[in-house]
Amino acid sequence: MCTVIGTQSSLFTRQDLEQALQATISRGPDDMRIIANDAGILGFQRLAIMGLTPEGMQPFELNGALAVCNGEIYGFRSLKNQLEEKGYTFASDSDCEILLPMFEEYGTDMFVMLDAEYACILLTADGRIVAARDPFGIRPLYYGLAADGRPVFASEPKNLTGLVQEILPFPPGHYYVDGEFHCYRDLSDVQDHLADDVTAAAEGIRKRLVEGVRKRLDSDAPLGYLLSGGLDSSLVCAIGQKLSDKPIRTFAIGMDTDAIDLKYARQAADWIGTDHTEIIMTKQDVLDALEPVIRTLATYDITTIRASIGMYLICRAIRETTDIRVLLTGEISDELFGYKYTDYAPDAQAFQDEAAKRVHELHMYDVLRADRCISVHSMEARVPFGDLDFADYVMHLDPAIKMNTYNKGKYLLRRAFMDTDYLPEDLLMREKAAFSDAVGHSMADDLKALAEETYTDEEFEARRKQYTHAQPFTKESLLYRELFEKYYPGQSRMVKDFWMPNREWDGCQVSDPSARYLANYGASGE
């Protein structure tokens, strides 16, 4: 990952931006550069993934305009060839160098043309500031207003703390220009459904997911894979292995007492033929990681924090022991195909509405987790299930065939790889377990016990009431909120609310976000 920051406010100097970038130095440890012109000032911290030469360092300059971008632009070589035919020349192999020529040619229409995971800031030759973010929000971007009313954009809340009063997430699928946000693509907005039946849908899913993985193997830095042994990560790894000419490197983590994932990850790794590494974490590892994780995430959400601890620790181990700089992950599948709780959707439209809600809010939860846990350890996340063509196709399928009417969640995704040699049937049909449970049920239990020890019942009731937005409702949620406020005081609105099952549905009236509290959890915890 890289860090970007930019503003037109005259209140800030180079030194102010340098200080702001120090908070995220692990996102871009390879280099840092700050450039100002008459329009404003841009800063960049580099994690070199594509175009590793010095010429690939940002900000890029073209005819008086400047640009910084944290991201990957897939298929950039064909766009680059088109621009070269128009007379543009390029100094590097960086995919992001194409942004300024594209803006010259297409203006803000360029954003809908990008097949990318990105966040960018441009200072135009005519003195405007333009910013944009990918449709899922896979790459982070936040903003706030300086004292003079001008916006400041940056990759993480840590960069903006002390520069602006209120920090908010930049809306995914939007660009900002001339003081306004404009939506250029909303993946949650589906007006019509495709006529594909189950057989056609399975074929369409398989073809597009394979291509989504293929795109994300383009890297000048070493690649690795996170493998939980669940359906999503196992499929990404299986596809990646088929597209590779040597064993891919996979990594799994679990508690030292009751890890569920480790045995399934080993089974998947053995079948796929990967170079596999297991990482063990203890209760003390979990407790020691809690505060650093919350500071890294900039969230108080229970689900996100629980799921992040294992990811944070596995990424730390990968960074400390390998040369890997890019990690492929299995995020975004659940939002598209359903969680355990979406088995309780009362009808097809309710299922689709819930998917739209999850896709719309994804940048505050699972996508945030993947970005922060990986980037804080100087690596880049790539998310094949977030491929725009793939996701758009799945969202447009008839929700009636996506619902669990098959006595098996995510049936369409499983069906897509039946009768192939990607995965054995027992792994392909494995029941879903939430990552925070699958690393070991004891992890969440240990965190709850810590919270119980921290507050009496009276303290809990008194202290939670000071928060009006996203009010803590358990001792665990209060513990997380107070740690969040320690680093991001008064910034709770960066997160909409707690991630929870839809409690308006019968069967979902639970007080804990873990799927193991649902009646349909079944064999997921085995």
* Residues taking part in catalysis: 2
Contact status, residue 24 vs residue 372, Cβ threshold 8 Å: no
> Residue 29, SS3?
strand
**Dist CA 262 CA 396 (whole Å):** 35
**Dist CA 390 CA 169 (whole Å):** 25
Give 87's contacts (C-beta < 8 A, 6+ positions apart).
Answer: none
Here the tokens at position 361 are: 């809010």
Give 244's contacts (C-beta < 8 A, 6+ positions apart).
Answer: 217
Among 52, 484, 127, smallest CA distance to 290 is for: 484
118-148 per-residue burial string, b: 16 or more CB within 10 A, e: under 16:
bbbbbbbbeebbbbbbbbbbbbbbbbbbbee
**Cα distances (Å, whole numbers) of residue 92 to 49, 187, 202:** 12, 32, 40
**Dist CA 472 CA 483 (whole Å):** 12
Among 265, 373, 297, 383, smallest CA distance to 335 is for: 383
Length of the chain: 526
Q: What is the largest CA-CA distance in the chain?
A: 71
524 secondary structure, DSSP code: G
98 secondary structure, DSSP code: G
**Dist CA 7 CA 42 (whole Å):** 7
> Residue 46, SS3?
strand
Give 355's contacts (C-beta < 8 A, 6+ positions apart).
Answer: 188, 335, 336, 338, 342, 395, 399, 402
Contact status, residue 439 vs residue 368, Cβ threshold 8 Å: no
Name the packing angle between helices 366-375 and 283-297 (round to 10°): 100
**Dist CA 508 CA 514 (whole Å):** 11
Here the tokens at position 230 are: 């669940």
